[in-house]
Structure 1
Amino acid sequence: MKTSTKFFLLFLVCLFVLNNNAQNQTKVSIVSNDLGMKLKVNGADFMINGMNWDYIPIGTNYSYSLWSQSDEFIKKALESEMSLLKDMGVNAIRVYTGIQPKWITYIYKNYGIYTMLNHSFGRYGVTINEVYKPVTDYRDEATKKLLLDEVSSLAKEYKNTEGLLLYLLGNENNYGLFWAGSETEDFPDDAEMKKAMGEKRGRPMYQLFNEAALLMKKIDANHPIAMCNGDVLFIDIIAEDCKDVDIYGTNMYRGKSFGDAFQKVKDKLNKPILFTEFGVDAFNALNKEEDQKMQSFYLTENWKEIYANAYGLGKTANSIGGFTFQFSDGWWKLGQTINLDVHNEEANWTNKGYDLDTKNNSKNMNEEWFGIAAKGFSNDEGLYQLYPRAAYYVLQRVHQINPYEKGITAKKIENKICKINQKKALKKGLKNKMLLESKQ
């Protein structure tokens, strides 16, 4: 074969590969007009019915990685979990870095579920020159270079991944300015302290968020960049220093209502709002017992507001969805590294918004009980089974609602949600609870 012919055939092969990648790449955009803001995925309207998802067996903690297991094991785990999520109507999961691109595509192709890829952006410390620093200083030049290099590499590696929905930077990093580690604590009340911390350490952090977003968008123009902030703390600084971040993501726990969050984000930022975390535990801190009915109530109220503030429905019209927290219980959350095989019933922080199980400011947030599904112990293969709670069946119906449907209104959405049979959902959840208890 002539050399020129070989080169021509090689050119055709390369062209085919490039065209195939371009066709399979998920293209996500934000529409913003007089009717509001919404996502489009490959040209179709997309409301995020998301779930915070991980795979952490009882007896392990955050250091466990599903993605370091064998392909056979991963496929079995995904079949168990993603089948439940698909049946629940979940169309996107929030996953931290560590998942390989092939599994994002695998999940999408086999279950129709997209992935929001989350880089913690220094939330849990950084390692500089082989020295671990538990509190990230975003003013430090070496730290800035490390984080920008990491997110640039991330965008390069994942930009052509079919099934990728968004990039998410951080995880309530503004709270990390006040405490180190991932275990939630009660938040300081002093306003002057908050303001001073925002200027000293917060502003450099948000400036770096913006720089990261600009870098990533130069590499990948097909996937918006979201940030993850704790509630709306420091939103004025964000308005000044994060103009190039596409989506305001927030972990928000306010009880049954998000209050003024939609309006504040619209007025201050003029960006879509995405609830990267919200929800409630399934344990009643006053009664000291599982309370599936309470969990379903709060989640139902939250989703009412997420839908009511969607594009074209006449309210703030900047809501693009949310990721309920979380799919299964995290038995490691209290203590992080101890008693990993104990389902701890101790509440570790107070939130007055969830007033059904707090009295006189008593602690009521049980970090180990946030699962929409309860978790069983692993079998001989290392795999575990989930047992859906009432909230699973309620959200299954909620996720069937399309806020972009022709002729839909906020009132019609509310009526649809009100018609959901909560008693039937609770009956199913309690039946699953009995089944789990019989196997433990």
Structure 2
Amino acid sequence: MKRIIVLPVILFVFTIFSSNAQQSQRLNNDWEFLKSDLGGVWEAVRPVVAGSSESVPLWTKINLPHSFNAEDAVDPDVNYYQGAGWYRKNLKIENPYNNGRTILHFEGAGQKTAVYVYNTKVAEHVGGYDEWTVDITDAVADFKKDSAFTKRFAGKIPIAIRTDNTRDLEMMPSDLSDFNVYGGIYRYLNLVYTPSLSFDKVFALAEVDAAGKLGSLKIFSRFYNPKNINNAKVNIKVTDPNGKIISESGKQFSDLKLQEEIAQIQVKKPILWSPNAPNLYLVEVTVEQNGEKATHNENVGFRNFEFVKKGPFMLNGKRLLLRGTHRHEDHAGVAAAMTEEMIRTEMQMMKDMGVNFIRLGHYQQSRIVLNLCDSLGILVWEEIPWCRGGLGGEVYKEQGKRMLTNMIEQHYNHPSVIIWGLGNENDWPNDFSTFDKNEIRAYMSELNDLSHKLDITRKTAIRRCDFCKDIVDVYSPSIWAGWYRGIYTEYKEISKKEFDTVDRFLHVEWGGDSHAGRHSESPDDALSKVKKAGNGDERAGDASLYGGGARVSKDGDWSESYICNLIDWHLKEQETMPWLSGTAYWPFKDFSTPVRPENPVPYMNQKGVVERDFTKKEAYYVFQSYWTNNLMAHIYGHSWPVRWGNTGETRMVKVYSNADEAELFVNGKSQGVKKRNSQDFPAAGLRWMVKYKEGTNTIKVIAKRGKETVIDEITQQYQTDKWGKPAKLVLQKTVDADGKITIEAKLLDANNVLCLDARDYVEFGLTGDGELIDNQGTSSGSRKVQLYNGRAVISLFTNGGKSVATVKSVGIPTAFINL
């Protein structure tokens, strides 16, 4: 059977988002998976062909999307698996078109993929983040020629797919990157039927002047035409955001070329796209030949943007401060294999936090993400995975150029995209024996030129590679004031120094780690050890928890209390920096990483403002108080059950709110009304020094803006007993419902006083019928975890039986509880 060559481009029309969606289906269910390599593809199909029930090795049933690193990426006791994984499924092929094409459309699979029809390899793809397609039409026809095969497989077509994330220095991204290089079919895989002539891509360039008065829409199509059909008719329809058809036209072709310009449309006073009003036009293109039609839809938006030289960012002629964050494709229990529902939840949470900008780090992400950025109104910096490690050989370089080409072509029409990122931390050596700055500069220039050739409308950017900052349009230095270097009050000063060194400045990546549930009565203590840096750059070794100079990342308490102060300071300063284009906090959500095994949650980067399972940390509400319009108020400490201090000592209560004023009540007694002032740090002036009573305290805030009112309330214990050396662990059941139990471990001294500053590692275990819910990469879903204020929790499924749970820590007797 002849080999089928995969096209180096994606067929956008073949997705569920097109108007002829009935000809595309997600292949989610009834797959079998093997976390291992095979001797060859024959082993995947042998059981059916041989008519034997014996199958060696054992396959498991799974659904897509799927990553074979769903749990081991955050297993504290192992290195995550990097190797081959096989998937197989027998497909029922029913193409409704005469001489139609049957396509497998991969939205993303990692990191090298081979596709087989029966035992014939029909395509290979290198790269874990761009989309690609496989035309299996001819291979299916060849398979069907053998009636014996067809009978054995009950008329279905055996498909086998090998994915491989084995370490490979000549691939992007580097395994030194601060994120897992996952394996598996972790984005959706679609079965697509098309006529013999269809669309490969439609490029729709929507442009408008800064005044918003005159828009133009240029539409080009690239056809998928394996039979070299010459005669066809193309129809174009454009609908505005209100559902009004503003243009309809048709064009007859008698000598159809691979790529054709099919329309140029003038749009007077277009309805503009912006974060506050993400208005989208619908472009519908249909190609018809021999009575068969293929239809392709694209959403576009009219917007004009500018990074002002030595100035801020402008959108549609007005300054817009980019209020951003970052995203990795990573989630508790599934790793990169996030469902559409999960992605939608995450993006909506970002929007609800006030985000209007996102950097997608550090690779091309799912089309679902880009579609949501368009519809929610979130501007985008998207980049290729040239991340750390230096620069490889020709194969490596070609992969980078191919990834850049695919990313730009596949996401060209999204109005949300304003920046194509060319790399991240490319000054980070170690993958190769040589590190040549001139070679890196030369390659960066190649990528920059290629980006501008493919798309003249967007800007190029990189982060943290000072010797290349003159090459790209927009540059982001590394500024981690108050975490890896210096103190956070230096932030504005450092940023202005960096701003003055480039034409166009945008600060992406700032923040710090916080262990969810850990709080502090004196969060800024570590700053007394740290010298002013004069710059906030992260240097070699700064991420280490050992050695080097004093820095908060090493010497701080990793409390939510400290990070809220750091974020609060940054946000209030950003309101007084008129030259600033914007920033992006790193990241939105905690994510897994192989380079941080000794963090409080092992193998987790814990800089997110939400945990890996979407549980909000306190920092989420700090952003909301600065960035959102809907009235909100949040008393700091919802996840802080026990505060401590001396009898009669005052303690600060902070409220994060966008209200004009707020009144605080402690145990029913008013503590007075405070006015909000963003420059009154901390908490924009909404803070009170109050006396807690020993035991239970109720704290309530009533926040007002005009006639609007919002209320928040929490209950906290206040402990005045002083604790000594940790002496024992105790376990108790806190929740028991619907077959799920939550247990809490506490570390006490010899007098049974809770050790509220304890940060020891504890490790949970379970014997019996139950099953621990661990390897989630969260503070409450990890069997090995550092304590937060002397406590830690984990949950388990009872499975209808009995179990014994344990918790242990070095030097402390193990505790048991019968469940």
TM-score normalised by length of structure 2: 0.36
Q: 1:324 aligns with which of 572, 578, 585?
A: 585
1:393 counterpart residue number: 621
Q: Residues 303, 80 of structure 1: CA spacing in aligned structure 2 closer, same or farther, 3 A cutoff?
A: same
AA aligned opposite 2:306: S
Name 1:137's counterpart in structure 2.
Answer: 391
Distance 1:28 1:429 in 2: 47
Q: What is the CA–CA distance in structure 2 between the aligned matches of 1:429 and 1:397, rounded to whole Å?
A: 22
Note if contact 2:420-2:451 (Cα within 8 Å) is conserved in structure 1: no
Name the residue aligned to 2:301.
24
**Correspondence 1:108 to 2:398:** no
2:450 corresponds to 1:215: yes
Q: Aligned partner of 2:600: which letter?
A: E
Q: How far off its partner does 1:222 sit?
A: 1.9
Q: Say which SS state the counterpart of residue 491 (structure 2) adopts.
A: coil
Superposed CA deviations along residues 295-347 of structure 1, whole A, max 9, x for unmatched, are: 1111122233444333xxxxxx2x211111122222x32557x8xxxx94179
Q: Which amino acid aligns with 1:277?
A: E
2:321 to 39, 42, 47: 47
Quote the offset at 1:259 in angstroms.
Answer: 6.2
Q: 1:210 to 1:326 in 2, by over 3 A?
A: same
Q: Which residue of 1 aligns with 2:765?
A: none
Partner of 1:369: 606
* Superimposed CA distance per residue, residues 149-197 of structure 1 (whole angstroms, 9 cap, x where no aligned partner): 43233223322223223222212121x21x459xxxxxxxxxxxxxxx8
Query: Are the counterparts in 2 of residues 390 and 430 from structure 1 also a CA contact under 8 Å?
Result: no
Change (3 A) 1:160 1:413: same
Task: Work out whether residues 253 and 279 of structure 1, in 8 Å CA contact, stay in contact via their aligned partners in 2.
Answer: yes
Q: Equivalences for 1:265-280 in 2 at 5 Å?
A: 265-269=498-502, 271-280=503-512
Q: Secondary structure at the match of 1:387?
A: coil
1:438–1:44 distance in 2 versus 1, CA, 3 Å: farther
Partner of 1:262: 495
Give the Cα separation in 2 of the matches to 1:345 and 1:148. 38
Q: Mark the CA change 1:7 to 1:259 in structure 2 (over 3 Å): closer, same or farther.
A: closer
> Structure 2: where are the runs of 5+ without partners?
1-230, 236-248, 253-260, 268-282, 284-297, 483-487, 519-552, 630-676, 689-700, 702-710, 718-743, 745-778, 781-791, 796-819
Distance in structure 1 (CA, Å) of the matches to 2:715 and 2:405: 44
- What secondary structure, in the 3-state scheme, does the structure 2 residue paired with 1:294 have? helix
Q: Relative to structure 1, is the Cα distance of residues 165 and 51 closer, same or farther in structure 2, using a 3 angstrom cutoff?
A: same
Matched, 1:159 2:412: yes
**Residues 115-139 of structure 1 deviation map (CA, whole Å, 9 limit, x = unaligned):** 2212122x25xxxxxxxxxx4436x
SS in 2 for 1:414: coil
The equivalent position to 2:403 in structure 1, one of 134, 150, 154, is 150
- Preserved CA contact (<8 Å) 1:281 1:369: yes
Q: 2-side partners of 1:218 and 1:43: how far apart?
A: 26
In structure 2, the partner of 1:206 is 441
In 2: Cα distance, 1:244 partner to 1:286 partner: 34
Higher helix proportion? 1
SS at match of 2:568: helix
Matches within 5 A, 1:27-426: 27-32=304-309, 36-59=310-333, 61=335, 64-66=336-338, 73-74=339-340, 76-95=341-360, 96-101=362-367, 103-109=369-375, 111-121=376-386, 123=387, 135-137=389-391, 140-174=393-427, 176-177=428-429, 179-180=430-431, 201-229=436-464, 235=466, 237-238=467-468, 242-255=469-482, 256=488, 257-258=490-491, 260-269=493-502, 271-283=503-515, 291-310=559-578, 317=579, 319-330=580-591, 332-333=592-593, 344-345=599-600, 368-376=605-613, 386-400=614-628, 414-415=679-680, 419=684, 421=686
SS in structure 2 of the partner of residue 272 of structure 1: coil
Does the 8 A contact of 1:276 with 1:324 survive in 2?
A: yes
Following superposition, the deviation at residue 279 of structure 1 comes to 0.4
Indicate how the Cα distance of structure 1 residues 215 and 28 shifts in structure 2: closer, same or farther if over 3 A, else same: farther
State the distance in 1 between where 2:425 and 2:397 align: 18
Number of matched pairs: 333
Deviation at residue 229 of structure 1 after TM alignment? 0.9
Amino acid in structure 1 at the alignment position of 2:437: G
1:78-122 alpha-carbon deviations (Å, 9 max, x no partner): 33222221111011222243424454123321x22232212122x
TM-score, with structure 1 as normaliser: 0.62
Unaligned runs of 5+ in 1: 67-72, 125-134, 182-196, 311-316, 348-365, 377-385, 402-411
Distance in structure 1 (CA, Å) of the matches to 2:715 and 2:514:
11
Q: Distance in 2 between matches of 1:290 and 1:428?
A: 23
Distance 1:272 1:375, change over 3 A: same
Q: 1:426 to 1:261 in 2, by over 3 A?
A: farther
Work out the CA distance in 2 between the residues paired with 1:303 and 1:289.
22
Question: Which AA in structure 1 matches 2:365?
Answer: I
Q: Deviations over 1:342-361 (max 9, x none)?
A: x94179xxxxxxxxxxxxxx
Give the drift of 1:218.
2.4
Query: Is 1:11 matched with 2:251?
Result: yes
SS at match of 1:58: coil
Partner residue in 2 for 1:192: none
8 Å contact kept, 2:343–2:368: no
RMSD over equivalenced CA pairs, Å: 4.3
Distance 1:7 1:77 in 2: 37
CA shift digits 1:350-388 (9 cap, x unpaired): xxxxxxxxxxxxxxxx95321211244xxxxxxxxx222
Determine which structure has the larger strand proportion and give its number: 2
Displacement of 1:142 after TM fit?
Answer: 4.4
Structure 1 residue 55: Cα displacement: 4.0
Q: Is the 8 A contact 2:420 2:458 kept in 1?
A: yes
Please state whether the residue corresponding to 2:477 is helix, strand or coil.
strand
Query: In structure 2, what residue type is equivalent to 1:279?
Result: G
User: Is contact 1:29-1:224 (8 Å) kept?
Assistant: no
Counterpart secondary structure, 1:10: strand
Q: Give the fraction of aligned pairs with identical amino acids, expressed as a percent.
A: 16
Tell me what 1:406 maps to.
none
Q: Deviations over 1:22-65 (max 9, x none)?
A: 96255432223xxx41222344432211111234223555xx24
CA contact (8 A) 1:210 1:243 kept: no
| SS state at 1:325 partner | coil
Distance change (3 Å), C-alpha of 1:5 and 1:297: closer
Higher CA-based Rg: 2
CA distance in 1, matches of 2:472, 2:463: 11
SS of match in other structure, 2:343: helix
C-alpha distance 291-161 of structure 1, shift in aligned 2 (>3 A): same
Question: What amino acid maps onto 2:308 in structure 1?
Answer: V
Residue pair 1:26, 1:163 contacting (<8 A) in 2 also: no
Over 3 Å counting, the alpha-carbon distance change for 1:369 and 1:100 in structure 2 is closer
